[in-house]
């Protein structure tokens, strides 16, 4: 390797290191881009009714803030009340279970008594796990200020991107060579269309899961059914893991009524998720986001490992955008064109060599005589 190649290699390594160090900032910028793209699409729809762009942007931002405020207003107060009730209901349940076990020990033969679970022993074994959960809770509370600052940063960046999106788009395109800028503009159009399709599909799936969850929990008589249904729809944004996360508070609150009701809630959520996974999501996402299930799960594990909990929420749109760039740049523009120019040059060389080495046709006898003996006038 010569000096120029060594300098290029060092520059690439330093660039990758810098990108790795600022990966959290890049993730927040991507979240702002997704949110700004969504609001920009909404503003364009509002502009279709004859409104100016500035007024349509104000309406779309107002809809966003109204949705955020409504979400926390509908979820936080009921959850705070129900989980406060859980703090004294759960110890009572443990006491009743312990009394039931003691009665059972008097009814079964002595040979079976050692196989009956000891509640106190189970609590002692679970104590380290509970301490770890509490420790993580305190860490979560202590990191709330950081989360708030990140949310504010995303909102500020969203407002900046939304004010003049074309200026930032042109600035990004100018980072590429001049001969490739038209191609990058087309790739950005594809990313925007794919993100819009994902947002529409995710909203339809969220609404389906949320509405069915509210109806089912209301029929079962579970407290805070509206809040639990909204939470189930919101967590449906996270494929594979979101339904499990939404099931935990629903079963915990159902435990306040009767011991058998959490099992019914579990069956309800399983039925809803099966309908969503087998009918709704494939139908909605079939022509919008075409990702294999294994790719979706691997992307979730990758992004949650390197980017944290926010990466889990943004795993699917990140994967959609990454797929487009991989398909258009690496596969179509690099791998599909690999060796094409060399093959063309080889064919030209072979053709030129064959034409130069071909024997020239001998002149006709009459032509030879004409060249030797000039014709009489």
3-state secondary structure the chain: CCHHHHHHHHHHHHHHHHHHHCHHHHHHHHHHHHHHHHHHHHHHHHHCCCCCHHHHHHHHHHHHHHHHHHHHHHHHHHHHHHHHHHHHHHHHHHHHHHHHHHHHHHHCCHHHHHHCCCHHHHHHHHHHHHHHHHHHHHHHHHCHHHHHHHHHHHHHHHHHHHHCHHHHHHHHHCCCCHHHHHHHHHHHHHHHHHHHHHHHHHHHHHHHHHHHHHHHHHHHCCCCHHHHHHHHHHHCCCCCCHHHHHHHHHHHHHCCCCCCHHHHHHHHHHHHHHHHHHHHHHHHHCCCCCCCHHHHHHHHHHHHHHHCHHHHHCHHHHHHHHHHHHHHHHHHHHHCCCCHHHHHHHHHHHHHHHHHHCCCCCCCHHHHHHHHCCCCC
pLDDT at 364 over 70: no
Is the pLDDT score of 267 beyond 90? yes
What are the residue boundaries of the structural domains of the chain, listed by start? 10-110+144-337
Lowest-confidence range among 149-163, 178-192, 349-363?
Answer: 349-363
The rounded distance, in Å, linking the Cα atoms of 256 and 85 is 8
pLDDT above 90 coverage of the chain, percent: 8
CB 303, CB 236: distance < 8 Å:
no
pLDDT more than 70, % of the chain: 70
Q: What digits encode the pLDDT tens for the residues 164-212?
A: 888 999 999 998 889 899 999 999 998 888 888 888 888 888 889 999 9
Q: Say what the pLDDT of residue 4 is.
A: 75
Top-confidence residue, 293 or 12: 12
Instruction: Find tokens 């509640």 and name the residue.
Output: 119
What average pLDDT score do residues 215-244 get?
85
Higher-pLDDT residue of 6, 214:
214
Of 203, 222, 310, the residue nearest 265 (C-alpha): 222
Q: What pLDDT, on the 0 to 100 scale, is given for residue 186?
A: 92
């Amino acid at each position: 390797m010569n000096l120029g190649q060594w300098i290029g290699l060092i520059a690439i390594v330093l660039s990758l290191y810098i990108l790795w160090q600022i990966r959290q900032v890049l993730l927040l910028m991507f979240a702002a881009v997704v949110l700004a793209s969504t609001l920009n699409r909404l503003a364009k729809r509002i502009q279709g009714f004859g409104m100016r762009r500035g007024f349509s942007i104000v309406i779309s931002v107002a809809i966003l803030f109204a949705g955020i405020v409504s979400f926390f207003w509908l979820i936080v107060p009921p959850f705070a009340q129900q989980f406060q009730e859980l703090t004294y209901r759960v110890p009572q349940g443990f006491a009743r279970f312990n009394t039931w076990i003691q009665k059972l020990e008097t009814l079964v033969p002595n040979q079976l008594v050692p196989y009956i679970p000891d509640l106190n022993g189970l609590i002692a074994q679970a104590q380290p796990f509970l301490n770890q959960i509490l420790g993580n809770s305190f860490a979560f509370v202590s990191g709330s200020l950081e989360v708030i600052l990140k949310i504010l940063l995303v909102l500020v960046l969203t407002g900046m991107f939304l004010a003049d999106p074309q200026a930032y788009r042109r600035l990004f395109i100018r980072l590429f060579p001049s001969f490739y800028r038209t191609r990058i503009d087309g790739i950005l159009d594809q990313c925007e269309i794919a993100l819009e399709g994902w947002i529409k599909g995710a909203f339809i799936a969220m609404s389906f899961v949320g509405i069915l969850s509210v109806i089912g929990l209301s029929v079962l008589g579970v407290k805070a059914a509206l809040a639990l249904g909204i939470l189930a729809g919101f967590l449906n944004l996270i494929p594979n893991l979101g339904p499990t996360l939404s099931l935990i508070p629903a079963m915990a609150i159902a435990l306040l009524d009767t011991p058998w009701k959490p099992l019914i809630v579990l069956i309800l959520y399983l039925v809803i998720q099966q309908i969503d996974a087998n009918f709704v999501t494939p139908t909605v996402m079939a022509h919008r986001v075409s990702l294999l299930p294994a790719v979706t799960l691997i992307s979730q594990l990758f992004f949650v490992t390197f980017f944290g909990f926010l990466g889990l929420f943004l795993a699917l749109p990140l994967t959609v955008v990454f797929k487009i760039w991989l398909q258009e740049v690496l596969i179509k523009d690099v791998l599909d064109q690999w060796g094409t120019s060399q093959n063309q040059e080889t064919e030209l060389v072979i053709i030129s060599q064959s034409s130069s080495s071909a024997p020239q046709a001998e002149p006709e006898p009459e032509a030879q005589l004409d060249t030797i003996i000039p014709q009489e006038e």
